[in-house]
Amino acid sequence: MARVEMAMDCRCLTGESPVSHASGEMHFVDIEGCTIHGYDTIAGRPCRNLSTEGRMVGNVVPCASPAMANIDLLASLQTSVVPVSFSDTNESKVREHIAIIPDAHLHAAHTFRFNDGKVDPCGRLWAGTMATDALENPDASKLGRLYCVQRATTPSKHTDLAATYEIVEKLGDIGISNGLEWSGGHMYYIDSLKLELSVFDFDENEGAICNRRRVFHFPREGGVLDGMTVDAQGKLWVAIALGGAILQIDPETQTELLRIQLPVLGTTSLVFGGKDLSELYVTSGTILEDKMGSDAPQAGGFFQSPCAWSKRPLVLAGLHFVIKWFY
């Protein structure tokens, strides 16, 4: 049985979007806690936390490019995507947005925010949205969308960052946009309210998706499919929110290969990390724990599970993708 232990007792309301850096450092978010957490996997301690100034943060991705000097991360805050920097004095700054959800996609009766997001192999940022009442209100259960943030296809005379990039809708009629991953010419995607993991054919050059089909269905009573990552063998790893588990899934046979239970119910997302990416790190949240009437003492923690049996090549780390995007 795989060993799971607490790496960081951060009591996240909803931990999400863990990302690995080549240095061994990691970042993840607390959505309602309006915080970006940092963790040093080499030293085994927290580092470089950042308040998002009261704005809910759906995801972060690493950023390192000459085109955006001194920018460390991109963060999806509420309805906008913004660059984030950490100064030498450990003071942190959130910059002006580079992309924002179009007004035409918002509804006066509902509040929207970005949720999970990730960078594809050509460096485009894919980020989904949800209505904040999507779980409770049937009228809000199909208002989410999936977007791609990329360099603008039409040259602009303006020099500001918002004019340099464009946000393109890729999918609509989404409940809660969640896990994303790419492997072998495919894009894998989770809409949590559909209780299924889908796959698309993915055109890497154009960033186009087509031919959607189901890879894996999860029973409603077992929890909710949430964040996702992929290992070096192309097997998918999915966090089961409200179910306290992470699953390894074979997309070819559409079967569950492995299940790891955690000491909490509110598991939300996961990523391979550490210096050689041989450890699995998992986020969780106390809000999900409360929904299940649980009072697990480690709820909201950031967990670690050594898994040398499933190493992931460093070249696939998100940092590599983002460098290509902003170069």
Catalytic residues, by residue number, are 226
Q: Helix or strand or coil: residue 105?
A: helix
**How far apart, in whole angstroms, are the C-alpha atoms of residue 118 and residue 179?**
8
DSSP 199: E
CA angle 320, 321, 326 (to 5 degrees): 105
**How far apart, in whole angstroms, are the C-alpha atoms of residue 241 and residue 128?**
18
The tally of CA atoms less than 13 A away on the side-chain side of residue 288 is 30
CB 264 within 8 A of CB 305: no
- Judged on CB neighbours under 10 Å (0-12, 13-18, 19+), 157 is exposed
**How far apart, in whole angstroms, are the C-alpha atoms of residue 307 and residue 324?**
29
Q: Helix or strand or coil: residue 94?
A: strand
- Judged on CB neighbours under 10 Å (0-12, 13-18, 19+), 44 is exposed
**How far apart, in whole angstroms, are the C-alpha atoms of residue 261 and residue 277?**
21
CB 249 within 8 A of CB 235: yes
**C-alpha dihedral sign at 268, 274, 277, 280:** negative
**How far apart, in whole angstroms, are the C-alpha atoms of residue 248 and residue 138?**
31
CB 17 within 8 A of CB 227: yes
**How far apart, in whole angstroms, are the C-alpha atoms of residue 27 and residue 59?**
10
